[in-house]
């Protein structure tokens, strides 16, 4: 059956060869440094067993005719898209932010769509290879990364123009059994704790760039793979335990130091004209996911602002209600764009439904240009205490505890402990490295706003709008 | 058959008793002053015959089992909602702005839904009365107003607290055959050229306010009805004819000077607890329509900006492309909200589908808070010429024509005539009374942004967002 | 003495040769069409006699040692700059908008500064010529235009690259007694009712463009000058007279059909490297003036919003107070930038103080990017009535007057007449052609925001900010 | 002489009694935890000896007729205000953010002004007492805190209505030699490393609140004072040293557990009507300082964005230049407001010049509502690398160094080390606890935007704007 337990997932990680580097040390995947990140992924497995989430998380795969976790699902049914949105929003709530695992869902769907398009155009057999891999992935309820973003070197130059050709991941050797790849992918969320690295190109490629047109899947501990990791966990808590502080996320520079990939795991190799379509198809699926996850982030900001206002006794002030409603509008317009994108999805040659890209881009865009503003609203409402309140241990030290409990009081009906818990959460949520990660991911994850603007206008029929104005103005061409 | 021609509509107007007042004069409905406004409505009839629009505009009514114009349709099928959006966006393009007639569509649907709800609660028979009226309305392809907004007097007081009880429309007499109403409705678009005034309350009412809880339909020339009119036409053109300049809109203060309404045309009378629901249900249907019409306005602004940029030779400048994309995002997020609102519509007791109010409110909201910004972008791109270019007749006077043609030239490949036509259009579109009407209607029509903010938060489950933060922070109640 | 009366000014205009064209007709300067525009200028003369304004408007010229009107003043004293700001803000209040006459003040000061710089560099004698002209201008209390903006043709090409060389004003002949110029200037505010057209280049010029490097003054009715005019008056009032409706403004396309200019009125001729400095120096003085006039516009919008809120009974609502404060901030930051620009002015070689350009640009910029937003706030607060209220004559017609007076009532303590006056003003102020003129001039007058952005960064020491970051980051070059 | 060295300052701290609490421990002022914070203050002493800054930092006190550090200066000369702005902007550059010490400068000036006002009104002798203290402070070149913000308890209640009267600092006993105070002040920047805590009330007080109307100075290690501290340092660096990482800031909850204050150090005691004026006078001086320090923060953000754009090879992209210019505008409008506020300062009864409060509020406001936006611009330009780049030690580990150096390359002319230094700085500057402190302080420090809005409108003559509209509209009262 295509459903693993969280423990099975953790066990798989533990068995991997060590290729993780953190701050000058090499660590195993059972190192405590990775525990919070792995906790986040655990939620996606636990949810499949949890009566509250089961119906949302488990579906049946038409590919293997077995129950699977939706995170491994290919969207052969249009309603899969709306369900994905709902699932993502719900599970992000559980971990207080990014649930991470949809990275792979979106990569898999993009590979499924584009491998078929390549086959249609070129007579290759990538799609069948990919479907075999997908069955294996579903049956084993695997976790994958979306290893897309190359390090890019000089941004004003194309891949083949770089001083160092390795600044975009490329094929350095093709053999009978497989290919050898070299390069590095940056900002690869989850890559230290996935089963499989799913690798796709980052941009459109010209005909000189066949070597850079490569997509594949490779076990996370394959020889030659080095995962140089940075962790953006929630703050640790000594005494005041809270669910938010259980979870984390890690990013990595994923180095391919001549990694061998067998042909059955290669899904594009040299078809440079499909580099752009694969990148864009992934972007479309992933921006569609953002229409579910970013509203979840807004839900937390909204709730945090509303709680702070309540605890501060100003929950009914009209400017505060308006500011909170502003966040609601951002969240719900993004989610509405996700729904519209699903409702107007297109069935591709592969049989998979691809979201409407105009709406997925618009939905992602509105979240990207507003995330700083949302945190600004929260900061304005919560006041300065989350960034100046004394450390946790002072609340538990006999010398200072009584002072803090006395002077932290606001509404006398709300206990000092609750005051502490709320403002400690607000502090962790807005001033930690994890907070910065949320802001930066909110801007850049899934493509920066500037990329969505390009995505929006690239296929937009602006000519028809000009024709409309010519008609109204009485201009005949 | 439920389809009239534009001429039949104009004929009906011509036969009405004169009760229109404009700038100190009483006029007939065939006065040239109303011609442009009526032209706008004509488009809705012509479209039903036009092969380009027919499929979008004509449907079959389940009520009378005949083809009808969608502007008279009750939305018994969920897809009616999406179709309405598409129809509205398309026809607004034809007239360069508000197509107007959906005012009545939305009022009819609201009356259908709420008259049934009243019957369900009170055992009355309003719904059947209303359906009889609706059949008559559909069969004759009528045009109605949405006479909702009361003059309201002192905004800090409720209807029954006003110094003058007539400041909200109210029942002053109930008799065997009908009721007599008194008061005035303000900002009533189209009321000088409709067949029927459709009247509904403007707000929630308390139990002291049964007299103000009244909804009905009344022929536009009924005794006691005075329509004091203001016209916001496009600018007249002497020589340089253009489609945009054919159309217009009129507003009126609609005075009810003791108007008699027979019972069969009364759809609410005294059920004060349904005043609010009727107002909100109309608002919901109408904000849903705005998710179609405001994107059409944005389409025109977008096209106008793109044309101006092209004629000015700066169409490829990145800041201009970004600014135009900004308008695209506003338009498409609003439209996406309309699609989402349709996709998540609710079937009401009447059998009619009501749009999801959260998304219809969010969609309307984003247009309302951006319309000034959209015109600002257009102004920035088009430059000062639309507000300083000499008058039309100077272009046709032998003394000045050669100067204007010589000095109006920009791109030498675009003729002086085209330059004139485009910038004359931009001038009319942005500097006329009609332009101001668009801006003000863009803010206030269908409810000002402040009303949508209230609409958005009134049913929003903010408590669940607080509960989410309590969970994350480890706060137990 | 350097002070005329308003009547003397009007008499001078009346005596001029007719060269004004309006909508296909040629008119004299005493035509009623120009009356409102001239009324605006009259205020600048009357103010010199008015005890309320005299001290602000009259000063003594170091050039002629006589009292003069500050509108003809050259800023030889640093405090002249602050006084100019205060004068402009105060007199704009009197006419409900642009007082217009500072156009010439700013052109004169720019000519004074740059003619000296040319002489310093080239050994020419433009400055002395200019000072003679300035004395004549001051003694006779003249009114001038700022004829700067060329029609520009293809914006992607330079003056000498245009298909038609006349698309920028240029010298077509140089003779013993003077020069002959050809071309046209667009958007020339006031040019139909000035004494003198003051002409300067619109941009930086290359060495191929000596013929376009020309600056001069010429009487407004000189042979070959054609003034094709567009009027943006306030709305006419039949009965309900109000100061706002007395004033207006006109723009023109100013055509130079081979106009002869004697050498003593030529202040630049061929010194192409000073084309840019002259354009920028004017821009600096004029943007400094905007730091005074735009706050005056904001004052009116602020007062209008506050009055509407009061009449609507919502003056204390916190979101309305916040929105009005938003306008205050825009106004006062622009004015503060004007003060700072004056406080950090530079004494030029001519002895004249030039404002600090960074602050004058920043001040103008913040008004330009906010004017639409200010009108949006006003629209939101005042509601829809200003764009739907019936025409003036209906308020005076016995058939409708009682209805309008009854139903216009808001706060019962404020008479119907006052309600009418306020909302009629709001209607005229926001929905007339004059309203559109204010919006467009608010964006483009004195240079569009995009020009100020360029102005701001062109001299800004961004390198020092980079050096600062290098220091902080420990980067050594 | 009124100038100490940084070492003398550190020595004074070292001699103090230990009353600092950090995360459950009591520490001395020589604990490494405070070193970075103290480094920041050191800069203010060193600058007085540094030829680059000396002229800006050292002045002569009219009070003691000796050279003093401007941080201890009372502004008896109007130019002191402009100098303060320049000094603050310059020294903030040196430490990469808040220079901190102006907190006390502003408190001292406010105490000087208001103590005189109290004496004028009440015949007390606070001013003389204060001047004696000020002489001592200047002679010894002391450092003070601005201990103003009370913990406030229930925000909907006044001080005397709180469940616990200690939630605002108050006098609990008055004796012959002095007073005893109890309560706590929150968010007290620098309080762990000052010589003197300078204490003033936080708000307007009613006549029931005489006990809360108390202002005084007290040595930082006085009996009963407990300083519960939180540190917001820049990130530590193991190898890659950089000036930015030398500095830090600490905040504290400053607890007064029945602290005795001798009369000669009490500057207000019971004069409740002066509680508001003292709070507002401090706010005015301090918001004036923000007009200098926040532009310094913007300078850093601007430089960081420009450097990132350069290193990324996109420094000439027009949207990036526009975004950077946006930051310039914010910075320079705030600074211009500071200059205007200085230019229009008022000489108070004490002889001290108080900045114009309208402009100081507007200047502070524009920074407060934009700081999140400025960081957003930086984030958008710098990309995701600062939040995902591996840890410092991986750059120095033989196993990973070559990978990082290879793949970090952008412009091949810029060395890997420089790339590392810049992006490490950007990472520290935007993702550390110190980064969050900057954002939060940017919003709340010196008063949140909502407080400035109140400050702006409280004295603003909105009535004159209404009168202006009445005049224009022809409304006579």
D32-70 pLDDT, tens digit each: 999 999 999 999 999 999 999 999 999 999 999 999 999
Chain A nearest C-alpha distance from D49 (Å): 33
A372-408 pLDDT, tens digit each: 999 999 999 999 999 999 999 999 999 999 999 999 9
> Among all residues of chain C, which has the CA nearest to that of A316?
C318
With cut-offs at 50, 70 and 90, classify the pLDDT of residue D477.
Answer: confident
C413-472 pLDDT, tens digit each: 999 999 999 999 999 999 998 899 999 999 999 999 999 999 999 989 999 999 999 999
Is residue B215 within 8 A of residue B278, CB to CB? The reply is yes
Q: D465: which chain C residues are within 8 Å (Cβ-Cβ)?
A: 299-300, 302-303, 306
With cut-offs at 50, 70 and 90, classify the pLDDT of residue B477.
Answer: confident
What is the predicted pLDDT for the residue at C1?
72
Q: D421: which chain C residues are within 8 Å (Cβ-Cβ)?
A: 473-475
Average pLDDT over residues C174-181: 98
What is the predicted pLDDT for the residue at C251?
97
B35-91 pLDDT, tens digit each: 999 999 999 999 999 999 999 999 999 999 999 999 999 999 999 999 999 999 999
Asked if the model's pLDDT at residue B398 lies above 80, the reply is yes
Chains that touch D (3 or more CB pairs under 8 A): A, B, C
Asked if the model's pLDDT at residue C358 lies above 90, the reply is yes
Chains that touch C (3 or more CB pairs under 8 A): A, B, D
Q: Which two tokens stand for residue D330?
A: 């914010």
> Among all residues of chain B, which has the CA nearest to that of C255?
B403
Chain D nearest C-alpha distance from C98 (Å): 14
> Would you give the distance in Å from CA C30 to the centre of its chain?
23
Asked if the model's pLDDT at residue B465 lies above 90, the reply is yes
What is the predicted pLDDT for the residue at C203?
94
Tell me phi and psi for residue B87, to 5 degrees: -60, -45
What is the predicted pLDDT for the residue at A377?
98
User: Which among A242, A304, A456 has the least Cβ separation from residue B328?
Assistant: A456
Contact D436 A387 (CB under 8 A): yes
Ranges assigned E (strand) in A263-305 = 266-269
What is the predicted pLDDT for the residue at B186?
98
Average pLDDT over residues B397-407: 97
Considering the entire predicted model, what is its pTM?
Answer: 0.97
- Measured CB to CB, residues of chain D less than 8 Å from chain B are 317-319, 322
> Among all residues of chain D, which has the CA nearest to that of B316?
D318
Is residue C302 within 8 A of residue C331, CB to CB? The reply is yes
Q: C457: which chain D residues are within 8 Å (Cβ-Cβ)?
A: 321, 324-325, 328
Residues 6+ apart with CB under 8 A from C290: C334, C360, C363, C364, C367, C445, C446
What is the predicted pLDDT for the residue at D357?
98
With cut-offs at 50, 70 and 90, classify the pLDDT of residue B94.
Answer: very high
Chains that touch B (3 or more CB pairs under 8 A): A, C, D
Chain B nearest C-alpha distance from A377 (Å): 16
Which spans in C158-274 are helix H?
A: none
Chain A nearest C-alpha distance from D54 (Å): 33
Asked if the model's pLDDT at residue A1 lies above 80, the reply is no
Q: C152: which chain B residues are within 8 Å (Cβ-Cβ)?
A: 410
Average pLDDT over residues D453-472: 96
Asked if the model's pLDDT at residue A477 lies above 90, the reply is no
What is the predicted pLDDT for the residue at B1?
72
Contact A412 D384 (CB under 8 A): no
> Among all residues of chain A, which has the CA nearest to that of C321?
A319
Asked if the model's pLDDT at residue C174 lies above 80, the reply is yes
> Among all residues of chain A, which has the CA nearest to that of D386?
A440
Q: C385: which chain B residues are within 8 Å (Cβ-Cβ)?
A: 186-187
Chain C nearest C-alpha distance from B364 (Å): 15
C301-349 pLDDT, tens digit each: 999 999 999 999 888 899 999 999 999 999 999 999 999 999 999 999 9
What is the predicted pLDDT for the residue at A174?
98
Contact A375 D372 (CB under 8 A): yes
Chain C nearest C-alpha distance from A53 (Å): 41
Per-position DSSP letters for B394-425, written without gaps between them: GGTSTTTHHHHHHHT--STTS-HHHHHHHHHH
Q: Which residues pair with D179 in a beta bridge?
A: D174, D261
Asked if the model's pLDDT at residue C32 lies above 90, the reply is yes
* Distance (Å, whole) CA D43 – CA D97: 12
User: Which among D303, D332, D362 has the least Cβ separation from residue C468?
Assistant: D303
**Secondary structure (3-state) at C68:** strand
What is the predicted pLDDT for the residue at B395?
96
What is the predicted pLDDT for the residue at A369?
97
HEC states along chain D?
CECCCHHHHHHHHHCCCCCEEECCEEECCCCHHHHHHHHHHHHHHHCCCCCCCHHHHEEECCCCCCEEEHHHCCCCCCHHHHHHHHHHHHHHHHHCCCCCCHHHHHHHHHHHHHHHHHHHHHCCCHHHHHHHHHHHHHHCCCCEEEECCECCCCCCCCHHHCCCHHHCCEEEEECCCEEEEEEEECCCCCHHHCCEEEECCCCCCCHHHHHHCEEEEEECCCCCEEEEEEECCCCCCCCCCCHHHHCCCEEEEEEEEEEEEEHHHEEEECCHHHHHHHHHHHHHHHHHHHHHHHHHHHHHHHHHHHHHHHHCCCCCCHHHHHHHHHHHHHHHHHHHHHHHHHHCCEECCCCCEECCHHHHHHHHHHHHCCHHHHHHHHHHHHCCHHHHCCCHHHHCCCCCHHHHHHHCCCCCCCCHHHHHHHHHHHHHHHHCHHHHHHHHHHHHCCCCHHHHHHHHHHCCCHHHHHHHHHHHHCCCC
Q: Which of B465, B467, B471, B477 to mutate to test the interface with A (most CBs of A within 10 A)?
A: B465
Contact B469 A304 (CB under 8 A): yes
**Secondary structure (3-state) at C103:** helix
> Among all residues of chain B, which has the CA nearest to that of D322?
B319
Asked if the model's pLDDT at residue D1 lies above 90, the reply is no
Is residue A268 within 8 A of residue A118, CB to CB? The reply is yes
Burial of A221: CB neighbours in 10 Å, binned 0-12, 13-18, 19+: middle
Q: A319: which chain C residues are within 8 Å (Cβ-Cβ)?
A: 318-319, 322
Q: D303: which chain C residues are within 8 Å (Cβ-Cβ)?
A: 462, 464-469
Contact D340 C335 (CB under 8 A): yes
Q: B232: which chain C residues are within 8 Å (Cβ-Cβ)?
A: 387
Mean pLDDT of chain A: 97
A226-237 pLDDT, tens digit each: 999 999 999 999
Q: Which of A319, A324, A325 to mutate to test the interface with C (most CBs of C within 10 A)?
A: A319
A255-311 pLDDT, tens digit each: 999 999 999 999 999 999 999 999 999 999 999 999 999 999 999 999 999 999 999
Contact A319 C317 (CB under 8 A): no
User: Which among A341, A453, A469 has the least Cβ separation from residue B307?
Assistant: A469
The interface predicted TM-score of the complex, written ipTM, equals 0.97
Contact B303 A469 (CB under 8 A): yes
Tell me phi and psi for residue C64, to 5 degrees: -115, 0
């Amino acid at each position: 059956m295509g459903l693993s337990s969280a423990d099975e997932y953790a066990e798989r990680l533990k068995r991997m060869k060590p290729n993780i580097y953190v701050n000058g040390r090499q660590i195993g995947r059972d190192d405590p440094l990775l525990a919070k990140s792995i906790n986040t992924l655990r939620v996606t497995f636990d949810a499949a067993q949890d009566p509250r989430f089961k119906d949302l998380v488990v579906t049946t795969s038409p590919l293997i005719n077995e129950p699977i976790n939706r995170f491994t699902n290919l969207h052969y049914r249009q309603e899969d898209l709306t369900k994905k949105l709902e699932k993502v929003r719900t599970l992000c709530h559980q971990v207080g932010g990014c649930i991470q695992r949809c990275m792979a869902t979106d990569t898999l769907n993009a590979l499924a769509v584009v491998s078929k398009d390549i086959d249609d155009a070129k007579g290759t057999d990538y799609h069948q290879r990919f479907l075999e891999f997908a069955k294996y992935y579903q049956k084993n309820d695997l976790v994958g990364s979306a290893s897309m973003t190359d390090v890019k070197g000089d941004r004003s130059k194309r891949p083949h123009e770089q001083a160092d050709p390795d600044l975009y991941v490329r094929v350095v050797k093709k053999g009978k059994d497989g290919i050898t790849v070299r390069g590095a992918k940056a900002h690869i969320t989850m890559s230290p704790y996935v089963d499989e690295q799913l690798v796709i190109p980052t941009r459109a490629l010209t005909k000189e760039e066949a070597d850079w047109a490569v997509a594949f899947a490779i076990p996370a501990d394959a020889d030659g793979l080095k995962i140089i990791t940075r962790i953006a966990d929630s703050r640790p808590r000594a005494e005041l335990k809270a669910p938010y502080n259980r979870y984390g996320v890690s990013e990595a520079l994923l180095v391919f130091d001549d990694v061998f990939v067998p042909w059955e795991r290669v899904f594009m190799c040299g078809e440079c004209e499909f580099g752009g379509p694969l990148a864009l198809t992934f972007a479309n699926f992933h921006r569609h996911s953002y229409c579910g996850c970013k509203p979840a982030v807004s839900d937390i900001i909204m709730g945090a602002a509303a709680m702070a206002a309540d605890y501060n006794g100003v929950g009914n002030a009209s400017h505060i209600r308006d500011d909170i409603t502003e966040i609601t509008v951002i969240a719900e317009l993004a989610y509405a764009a996700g729904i519209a994108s699903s409702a107007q999805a297109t069935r591709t040659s592969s049989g998979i439904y691809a979201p409407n890209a105009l709406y997925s881009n618009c939905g992602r865009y509105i979240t990207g240009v507003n995330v700083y503003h949302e945190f600004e609203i929260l900061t304005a409402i919560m006041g300065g205490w989350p960034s100046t309140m004394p450390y946790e241990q002072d609340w538990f030290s006999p010398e200072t505890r009584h002072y803090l409990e006395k002077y932290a009081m606001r509404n006398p009906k709300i206990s000092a402990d609750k005051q502490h818990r709320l403002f400690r959460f607000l502090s962790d949520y807005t001033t930690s490295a994890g907070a910065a990660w949320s802001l930066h991911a909110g801007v850049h994850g899934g493509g920066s706003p500037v990329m969505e603007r390009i995505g929006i206008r690239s296929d937009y029929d602006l000519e028809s709008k000009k024709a409309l104005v010519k008609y109204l103005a009485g201009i005949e061409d």
